[in-house]
Amino acid sequence: MAITSFSFLTLVLAAAVLYRLLPQSARWWALLAASLVFYAAGGAAAMAYLAVTAVSTYAAALLLQRENDRRRAMEEDKRRETRKRYDRRRRLVVGAAGLMNFGMLFAIKYWDAAVQGLSGLPTLGLVVPVGISFYIFQSIGYVIDVSRGKIKAERNFPRYLLFVCFFPQMVQGPIDRFGHLAPQLYAGRAPGAEEVRDGIQLMMWGFFKKLVIASRAGIVVDAVYGDAGAYPGCASVFAVLMYTIQLYCDFSGGIDIVRGVAGIFGIDMAENFRRPIFSLSLAEFWRRWHMTLGAWMRDYVFYPLSLSRACAALGRFSRKRLGGMFGRILPTSLATFIVYFIIGIWHGANLTFLAFGLYNGIIITASILLAPLYGKVKTALRIREESAWYRAFCMARTCFAVFIGRYLTRAPWLKMSLVMLKRSVFDLHLRQLPATVLGLGMSGGDCAVVAAGCAVLLAVEFLQERGVKIRKTLAERSPFVQWLAMIIPLAVILLFGIIGNGGGAGEFIYGRI
């Protein structure tokens, strides 16, 4: 069930009505029922995978909670004495839950690609269910948080199941935390009229990004990538630019819809994007893009890896042997590199994503290692970091680095990415651009709509970046202006949105991850 479909909106409406009708303590049942209906539409296999994750992480968390409770009841001396045994058990339970769930994810998503070309190993041909990476990451995060004693395990299985499969987040996240999301899911709070209005406005903003911009930009992307050899380099540049726009509007638009739907139920889901176009570096870009995955990687991979005994040993070695700044930051740089490498693989079982992870990891690691040198150059050239032109330069540099990285993620094969990149440099034929673009299924009007849509998006994000609260500002205006703020976006979506199957309107790129 696509979240841009009429059936999804009907489900949201039915769930919202049921939610209001039920007494406060029972309202979470309405959310669970809607979530199960939504996910059941994905088929029996999808439900079975969901059940494996929900049951295994529920049981693991209960075991961990029992260990934590026992330990808490011990005397201080006894606690110190049994610490190693406790840590071992804790790691065993977390490891078993991780192995089961990431093993399942590997089998479904990566096995066929891994054994391709190897004789004797069969392929499984399993269909990747929507959002499996997201709910597995969210559930494993819950298990780790319980093991660290940050939260208490949920004993009521249906309530826990709701946390795992809350329906708006099942397509492409965000990857929320139990401590943030679950209390809101169970509270059964009826949101006020303002919250419902804000939720609807956020949904419409998401539909605008997805249906007006992303789906239209996707037409060119599909055409060029469908037959990349047939077009000159300028078509590759234009297609990758459109893909960069499509990916942002598709993913962030989908998240806006999800957060808007949750807002209708009075639930504030985790923020996933903070205007990444204004990033001054690639590292900052990744802190503003898919923030919940970044936070997950930080808390459950980067921190443990950086504080591991292996990293500490490497740190001691590098300080002693290499000395200076380089020796000090080498272990952290290595941990950073590993994290970006994992993020790359997380995006897909393909060499292109491996290259994408390496590309980001190398640039960010190099920028850490070269930071002292940059500092000296800036001092020598008397560059003021806070000056507007330098910030503009950094933003342009980051956008360029992101743009080049996008060459790697859309093509089905790495060779195709590299050929397109080579053509963009050595076989550009810029004069052929207008005729080429119009031959890719996008009319002049479509180009104008994408350009105007991007201008609106940029203007809104620029204001937000400067601290303007747009929805709050609108809410302070007269009722007439407030109605216009609802009707005009709706009219724009209905008039200019690609609704239906064209341009992949029902699908989300990150929904396939």
Partner 1 sequence: MNDVDKLIEILNTVCPDVDFEAETNLVEDGILTSLDIVMIVSELMAAYDVRLDIDDLVPENFENAGTIYELIQKAKGN
Do 141 and 228 contact (CB within 8 A), yes or no?
A: no
Smallest distance from partner 1 to CB 311, Å: 8
CA angle 5, 508, 338 (to 5 degrees): 155
Give whichever of 86 and 186 is closer to partner 1, judged by the CB atom: 86
Residue from the set 304, 323, 439, 500 that interacts with partner 1 by CB under 8 A: 304
CA distance 354 to 343: 9
- Tell me: does residue 494 bind partner 1 (CB under 8 A): no
Which stretch, 58-66, 323-331, 432-440, 481-489, contacts partner 1 (CB under 8 A)?
A: 323-331
Residue from the set 248, 302, 359, 407 that interacts with partner 1 by CB under 8 A: 302
CA distance 350 to 104: 18
Smallest distance from partner 1 to CB 127, Å: 36
Residue from the set 69, 92, 230, 303 that interacts with partner 1 by CB under 8 A: 303
Separation in Å, CA 417 to CA 97, 219, 258: 37, 19, 32
Give whichever of 139 and 336 is closer to partner 1, judged by the CB atom: 336
CA distance 496 to 198: 22
- Tell me: does residue 287 bind partner 1 (CB under 8 A): yes
- For residue 87, with 0-12 CB atoms within 10 Å meaning exposed, 13-18 middle and 19 or more buried, which class applies? exposed
CA distance 472 to 22: 30
- Tell me: does residue 315 bind partner 1 (CB under 8 A): yes
Smallest distance from partner 1 to CB 67, Å: 15
- Tell me: does residue 375 bind partner 1 (CB under 8 A): yes
CA angle 246, 233, 360 (to 5 degrees): 55
* Token couple for 143: 């298990």
Helical spans, DSSP H, in 22-156: 27-40, 44-73, 76-81, 83-105, 111-115, 132-147
Give whichever of 56 and 306 is closer to partner 1, judged by the CB atom: 306
In degrees and rounded to multiples of 5, residue 9 shows phi and psi of -65, -35
Smallest distance from partner 1 to CB 177, Å: 13
Give whichever of 92 and 307 is closer to partner 1, judged by the CB atom: 307
Residue from the set 2, 114, 368, 475 that interacts with partner 1 by CB under 8 A: 368
Separation in Å, CA 147 to CA 54, 60, 97, 167: 17, 9, 12, 26
Do 270 and 291 contact (CB within 8 A), yes or no?
A: yes
- Tell me: does residue 94 bind partner 1 (CB under 8 A): no
Site string for partner 1, 326-355 (x = CB under 8 A): --xx-xx--xx-------------------
- Tell me: does residue 312 bind partner 1 (CB under 8 A): yes
Which stretch, 164-172, 176-184, 311-319, 460-468, contacts partner 1 (CB under 8 A)?
A: 311-319
Name, in order, each residue with C-beta under 8 angstroms of 188's C-beta and a sequence gap of 6 or more. 19, 22, 23, 24, 25, 26, 27, 28
Smallest distance from partner 1 to CB 303, Å: 5
Residue from the set 283, 416, 456, 460 that interacts with partner 1 by CB under 8 A: 283
Smallest distance from partner 1 to CB 142, Å: 16
Give whichever of 80 and 469 is closer to partner 1, judged by the CB atom: 80
CB atoms within 10 A of CB 311: 18
Query: Torsion-angle region of residue 284: left (phi > 0), alpha (psi -120 to 50) or beta?
Result: alpha
Give whichever of 312 and 430 is closer to partner 1, judged by the CB atom: 312
Which stretch, 112-120, 163-171, 236-244, 301-309, contacts partner 1 (CB under 8 A)?
A: 301-309
Which stretch, 52-60, 131-139, 305-313, 440-448, contacts partner 1 (CB under 8 A)?
A: 305-313
- Residues that bind partner 1 in the complex, under the rule CB under 8 A: 148-149, 283, 287, 298, 302-304, 306-307, 311-312, 315-316, 319, 328-329, 331-332, 335-336, 368, 375
